[in-house]
């Protein structure tokens, strides 16, 4: 899909990847964030944890249904099932991709929304590292499929692969501290490229 649609990924920063499995966390401004993961990490098996609503989007549904763990945010029983499936996937050697913003913002992209804590609780519970990523231009290339007037054009995706956060560091931090640390890491390139968001 990336080649046929003339998308190119330009990696601005690259850091060493941790030994898997690990949790990959990224900002989320476009569904390209999902599709590009396989180009970024082709040798590292992973599954997505994502909102169950993705199962209702025709094109994304097929992709998501077979490769991912749906999170039913309004059903506590099914939410618990998502945790058990995540734990099973990690034991089998799969990494997990989670977008802590939990949605795509419709305003001021790529300004980030506050992070939910689930990914960071999971990292502490499963005792695995965290790999933060930042995309700074995907929002210009392709928007939410429900936005029929949104952008859909070829171009360059700018990517930052940050140093991973070790299990030792994760264990030293409280969930709120870890959430803020990851937010600041991922947000740094956005603020550098878009200084208007610093205020």
Whole-number mean pLDDT of the chain? 86
Residue 87's CB is within 10 A of a number of other CB atoms, namely 14
d(CA 57, CA 195): 34
Q: Which among 15, 14, 10 has a CA at the least distance from the CA of 165?
A: 15
pLDDT of residue 35: 85
pLDDT of residue 64: 53
Superfamily of segment(s) 7-198: Glycerol-3-phosphate (1)-acyltransferase (3.40.1130.10)
d(CA 180, CA 114): 9
d(CA 126, CA 199): 36
Higher local confidence (pLDDT), 185 or 70: 185
Whole-number Cα distances in Å, 138 to 41, 112, 115:
17, 13, 19
Q: Which among 15, 25, 22 has a CA at the least distance from the CA of 45?
A: 22
pTM (2 d.p.): 0.87
Domain-by-domain residue ranges, the chain? 7-198
pLDDT band for position 58 (cuts 50, 70, 90)? low
pLDDT digits (tens, 9 = 90+) for 146-159: 555 566 677 899 99
């Amino acid at each position: 899909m990336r080649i046929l649609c003339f998308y190119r990924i330009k990696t601005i920063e690259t850091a060493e990847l941790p030994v898997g499995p690990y949790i990959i966390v990224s900002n989320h401004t476009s569904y390209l964030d999902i599709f590009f993961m396989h180009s970024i990490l082709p040798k590292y098996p992973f599954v997505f944890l994502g909102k169950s609503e993705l199962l209702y989007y025709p094109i994304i549904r097929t992709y998501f249904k077979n490769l991912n763990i749906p999170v039913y945010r309004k059903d506590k029983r099914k939410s618990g099932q998502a945790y058990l499936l995540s734990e099973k996937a990690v034991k089998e050697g799969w990494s997990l991709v989670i977008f802590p913003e939990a949605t795509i913002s419709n305003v001021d992209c790529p300004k980030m929304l506050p992070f939910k804590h689930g990914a960071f609780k999971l990292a502490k519970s499963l005792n695995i590292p965290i790999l933060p990523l930042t995309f700074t231009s995907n929002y210009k290339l392709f928007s939410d499929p429900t936005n029929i007037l949104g952008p859909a054009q070829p171009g360059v995706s700018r990517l930052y692969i940050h140093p991973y956060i070790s299990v030792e560091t994760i264990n030293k931090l409280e969930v709120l501290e870890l959430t803020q640390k990851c937010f600041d890491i991922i947000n740094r390139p956005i603020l550098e490229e878009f200084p208007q968001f610093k205020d």
